[in-house]
Amino acid sequence: MAGNESIYEPLTVETLAMRLGGIVAITDRIGADTTKWRAKEVGDGNLNLVFIVSSDTGSVIVKQALPYVRLVGDSWPLPLKRAFFENHALLRQADRDPGSVPEIYHFDEAQALIVMEFFTPHIILRHSLMAGTKHQGMAAVLGEFCARTLFRGSDLSMVAAARKADVALFADNVALCDITETLIFSDPYFDAERNHHTPQLDTLVAQLRADIDLKVEAQHLKAKFCNNAETLLHGDFHTGSIMVTETETKIIDPEFALYGPMGFDIGMLLGNFWMAYFAQPGHAKSHGERHDYQTWILEVIDEIWRVFSAEFSNLWRHERTGILYERSLFEDQGHALASEQALAHRLRDIWQDTLGFAGVEIIRRTLSLAHIAENDTIENEALRADCEARGLRFGRQLVVNRSRMNSMATVNDLAQIIAAEAKQ
Amino acid sequence: MAGNESIYEPLTVETLAMRLGGIVAITDRIGADTTKWRAKEVGDGNLNLVFIVSSDTGSVIVKQALPYVRLVGDSWPLPLKRAFFENHALLRQADRDPGSVPEIYHFDEAQALIVMEFFTPHIILRHSLMAGTKHQGMAAVLGEFCARTLFRGSDLSMVAAARKADVALFADNVALCDITETLIFSDPYFDAERNHHTPQLDTLVAQLRADIDLKVEAQHLKAKFCNNAETLLHGDFHTGSIMVTETETKIIDPEFALYGPMGFDIGMLLGNFWMAYFAQPGHAKSHGERHDYQTWILEVIDEIWRVFSAEFSNLWRHERTGILYERSLFEDQGHALASEQALAHRLRDIWQDTLGFAGVEIIRRTLSLAHIAENDTIENEALRADCEARGLRFGRQLVVNRSRMNSMATVNDLAQIIAAEAKQ
């Protein structure tokens, strides 16, 4: 027993201690006396079993993949191998941005099971954004995480052969890529079976689905997602994959990891912050109560991009050891200016992709299968539709006009104008 | 024996019949009586052994990889596995554009050996371009080959999971990718060890290596080559990889096959035609003798792009069965116009990439390790330098201004102006 069974079997609160009690990486942390273990199933995501297992001496997270999508049930099978990809992604992220992700204590491929560090008293950022709680230093952690993982997982940094082997390894994460390809990039743009939206949005939704410029640009973004294997992405980097205290920020759940375009992770992240921004009136106890918090969200967005750009530039200048934009062609020839020129071009490309991916993320979280709690918990349907409509209109602008928006100030101005219009 | 030896050993003219005499796929074509076989080693490429093996009843090509770069010697090792990739690429090309590539009769992975169709009386197109020979229908075959292999090897056509598995398979072609990454995209832009160029070009070469815009753009193209896994490319699609008679055109030697950007194959191809155009004065027996042939080369270039565009558009309209730009979002919603809009955008992107890759190909074939026979055979060094300089100046324009050149007429005008200037 003890984690080396070859036949997969989902854990339960009852069987967990018996099945994992012999794993030293666990008993080292919470003791070998399994009668003292307390196990609680807390999975609130869409896919997996998640247990907190604790004793008087410590606690761990046990995450196990199910052979189907938990949100939907066994009518939608999903390979257990996603635990393998999560394990590999976590190892790489820990290496590239130490301290940002949970430490892995134990991985069992056959059981699709990862035992890892439990972050406590951290909560999921999305809940915090509903509660109106601010977090010190969060934007910096998120911006640096993006810069470090995206840069260090790319041909700007890695040995080419190692990166190609890694591309081959992650190319098999087909089923989870398919979820993204379908739910984010295709379903929102036609009347797909799994779609749902707030009824008051019917007219706007019909407009968006008839909007040829939007549809074409969304498909260009899909093509980038599918074909531009620039770096190892987290792949599902929304505010439900981030855990926070008032002063600490951690990133979890990279099972959607894939090689893709750099702008995808930051774009999804910022899209979720913009949605949280537009959702605030739905959580205000009185008119205007969340204005200050909305301002803070826009500041967070601005800071994430600033920190990302600064750290990416820093790594570009000091860690560019890969096969792209080699120092032997630039700095070593006395052409540091060429290196800066290339950096500026690449940051502009990432910027445009970021805006585009943020836009499609907002649209899919409103029209496709998986919505966000910030909107879903607004009980007044008309108010919810109003918040969602602002996001949709903003998202559409990002997707269609991303190559003509020059700064975060411009983009955040647009968000504020759309938010203000809605209040009239 | 008979092709199933497990230990690799290079063939020789003397051992070939003994070692391959038992392979039915060969004896079916040239008979089982190996005393009647005639073997001739004809490899004039840079990498491999190539034998023509014939008898009174037929002939075959036997191509065997060597564990090093033939052009350089055993100081530059190169994996035998390239025969595996060539075999897989030939199978896919035959499937995607039937009749365009040699039929495979036998593949032996351990011996890195492919026995395939011998095209006779075909000659290598590059020699034909030196001789000033025209070829009926060649441009159409080449344009269609590009359109069909690039489209049908992409997410526009393939089942997503099959394409991802294929990306993983070809990701291991690391060593040959490294040759392209280094020799095409890096070496030409600094004083790399393996470089050589005609001495009269010294001043121009120094200018190009100090040209920051050129260097940065060449590196952007390298990044596309390394990261944009849009489709399965031939990977070495120059006029030495094409065999012709006056009326027939065949494509060979895809051992550099990789997933990369669509513009790479066409770009390399057109770059080689433009170089042949600029080299013509070096092969004219009298002043102006090759003017008519130069005009024909530009017509070929124009036709290749026109046929490529037309066939790519045709496939886009009728075979778009992949996960990108799905009919369910466009045509099925009555938005055929959206599909046409997306097609126009994609063709523009491929166009710009094509010009860029053509430019870097011209530059590397003049400054890096592997030059072209059209220039190398011009004995008058000053005249050779003159032809090469025109190509370099043209190539630089393509690389730096590719996003601002709107039509092949514009580009060919530029070629003619640069050619005419040189004659003054």
> Three-state SS across chain A?
CCCCCCCCCCCCCCCHHHHHCCCHHHHHHHCCCHHHCEEEECCCCCCEEEEEEEECCEEEEEEEECCEECCCEEEEECCCCHHHHHHHHHHHHHHHCCCCCCCEEEEECCCCEEEEECCCCCEEHHHHHHHCCCCCCHHHHHHHHHHHHHHHCCCCCCCHHHHHHHHHHHCCCHHHHHHHHHHHCCHHHCCCCCCCCCHHHHHHHHHHHCCHHHHHHHHHHHHHHHHECCEEECCCCCCCCEEECCCCEEECCCCCCEEECCHHHHHHHHHHHHHHHHHHHHCCCCCCCCHHHHHHHHHHHHHHHHHHHHHHHHHHHHCCCCCCCCCCCCHHHCCHHHHHHHHHHHHHHHHHHHHHHHHHHHHHHHHCCCCCHHHHCCCCHHHHHHHHHHHHHHHHHHHHHHHHCCCHHHHHHHHHHHHHHHHC
pLDDT on residue B47: 85
Residue contact B227–A226, C-beta within 8 A: no
Pairwise pLDDT comparison (B423 vs A295), residue with the higher score: A295
Check residue A43 and give its pLDDT: 81
Mutate to test the interface with A, among B179, B329, B345, B402 (most CBs of A within 10 A): B329
| Cis peptide preceding B121, ω within 30 of 0 | yes
Distances (CA, A) of A3 to A34, A39, A40, A114: 15, 16, 19, 10
Q: What is the residue-averaged pLDDT of chain A?
A: 95
> Mutating which of A174, A217, A219 best tests the B interface, going by the most B Cβ atoms within 10 A?
A219
Residues of B in contact with A167 (CB under 8 A): 167-168, 171, 229
Phi/psi for B249 (5° steps) reads: -135, 130
Model confidence at B71, pLDDT cuts 50, 70, 90, reads confident
Q: Which residues does chain B have within 8 Å of residue A177's beta carbon, measured at their own beta carbons?
A: 160, 164
Decide if pLDDT at A98 tops 60.
yes
Model confidence at A45, pLDDT cuts 50, 70, 90, reads low
pLDDT at A231 over 60: yes
Residue B3 has pLDDT above 80, yes or no: no
**Does the pLDDT of residue B6 top 90, yes or no?**
no
Model confidence pLDDT, tens digit, residues B393-420? 999 999 999 999 999 999 999 999 999 9
The whole-number average pLDDT for the span B303-324 is 98
pLDDT-based confidence at B134, cuts 50/70/90? very high
> Is any Cβ of chain B less than 8 angstroms from the Cβ of A168?
yes
CA distance B303 to B99: 20
pLDDT at B70: 82
The single-letter DSSP state of residue B125 is H
Mean pLDDT along residues B56-60: 96
Q: Say whether pLDDT at A413 is over 80.
A: yes
Contacts of B184 (CB under 8 A, 6+ apart): B222, B225, B360, B361, B364, B368
**A384-408: average pLDDT:** 97
Q: Rounded distance, CA A175 to CA A389, Å?
A: 31
Q: How far apart are CA B306 and CA B139, in angstroms?
A: 9
Answer yes or no: do B226 and A341 touch at CB < 8 A: no
Residue B1 has pLDDT above 50, yes or no: no
- Do B186 and A337 count as a contact with CB atoms less than 8 A apart? no
Q: At residue A1, does pLDDT exceed 70?
A: no
Tell me the CA end-to-end span of chain B in Å, nearest whole number: 64
The answer, for B160 touching chain A at a CB cutoff of 8 Å, is yes
Whether residues A209 and B167 touch (CB distance < 8 A) is answered with no
Determine, for residues A186 and B337 on separate chains, whether the beta-carbon distance falls below 8 Å.
no
pLDDT in tens, A54-92: 999 999 999 999 999 887 888 889 999 999 999 999 999
Substitution target in A211, A215, A221, A259 with the highest count of B β-carbons within 10 Å is: A215
Among residues A283, A349, A362, A75, which one has the least CA distance to residue A193? A75
CB-based contact A174 B181, cutoff 8 Å: no
Task: Please give the Cα distance from A106 to A101 (Å, whole number).
Answer: 15
Yes or no, beta carbons of A209 and B333 under 8 Å apart = yes
Residue A137 — pLDDT band, cuts 50, 70, 90? very high
> pLDDT for B156-167, tens place per residue?
999 999 999 999
Topology agreement, domain B16-117 and domain B123-423: no
Of B177, B216, B333, the CB nearest to A338: B216
CA distance, residue A176 to nearest chain B CA (Å):
11
Report the chain B residue with the minimal C-alpha distance to residue A346: B220
Per-residue pLDDT at A3 exceeds 50: no
Q: Which of B172, B215, B227 sits opposite A335 (nearest CB)?
A: B215
- Give me the pLDDT at residue A122, please: 97
pLDDT band, residue B289 (cuts 50/70/90): very high
What sign results for the dihedral spanned by CA atoms B123, B128, B129, B135? Answer: negative
What pLDDT is attached to residue A422? 55
% of chain A exceeding 70 in pLDDT:
98
Fold exhibited by the domain B123-423: Aminoglycoside 3'-phosphotransferase; Chain: A, domain 2 (3.90.1200)
pLDDT tier for residue B69 given thresholds of 50, 70 and 90? confident
Looking at the structure, give the CATH architecture of the domain made up of residues A16-117: 2-Layer Sandwich (3.30)
Q: Could you state, in order of their start, the residue ranges of all structural domains in chain B?
A: 16-117, 123-423
* Mean pLDDT on B144-153: 98
